[in-house]
């Protein structure tokens, strides 16, 4: 179990984010076309998993747009923003914000993801959704960088995540 804060108030997750060097747990999440996707769907690419509570919040929206910009010219990278939002909301967000280089994925049918990645919030007002984290995988799905952002209302360390790619 890890502890993060929400506006200074401590909240707990169910575990810890995967450690550097570990094989990333596979997952089944839902894309904006209501299709189930997993790591195999991004085979051969490096993956940046930007795990956020909801795209309907300023920090989550900002980080998604920022990773979209930073990875815009990286054909070897799949940027995946993962949230509790429904695919319909994810699609509206991408359309309205001009986000084209990020694949938004929903926990709609894949709640196991949050548990497997140690980011499921287990108490406090956001219990049941994810803490903010970034996990970077190499092309073989090995973790090369992981960050559990200590304050949910804080942006991740973009420079470290991009350097890991």
The residues assigned a catalytic role are 60
**Cβ neighbours for 98, distance < 8 A, ≥ 6 positions apart:** none
The gap between the terminal CA atoms of the chain, to the nearest Å, is 27
Report the C-alpha gap between 45 and 85 in whole angstroms. 25
SS3 55: coil
Residue 158 tokens, joined = 């973009």
Among residues 141, 150, 88, which one has the least CA distance to residue 119?
A: 150
């Amino acid at each position: 179990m890890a502890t993060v804060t929400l506006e200074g108030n401590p909240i707990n997750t169910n575990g810890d984010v995967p450690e550097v060097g570990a094989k990333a747990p596979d997952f089944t999440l839902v894309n904006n076309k209501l299709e189930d996707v997993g790591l195999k769907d991004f085979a051969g690419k490096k993956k940046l998993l930007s795990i956020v509570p909801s795209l309907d919040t300023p920090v989550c929206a900002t980080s998604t747009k920022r990773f979209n910009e930073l990875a815009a010219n990286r054909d070897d990278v799949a940027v995946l923003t993962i949230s509790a939002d429904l695919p319909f909301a994810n699609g509206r967000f991408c359309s309205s914000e001009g986000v084209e280089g990020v694949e938004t994925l929903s926990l709609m049918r894949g709640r196991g993801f949050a548990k497997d990645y140690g980011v499921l919030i287990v108490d406090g007002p956001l219990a049941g959704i994810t803490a903010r984290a970034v996990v970077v995988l190499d092309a073989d799905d090995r973790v090369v960088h992981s960050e559990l952002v200590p304050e949910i209302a804080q942006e991740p360390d973009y420079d470290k995540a991009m350097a890991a790619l």
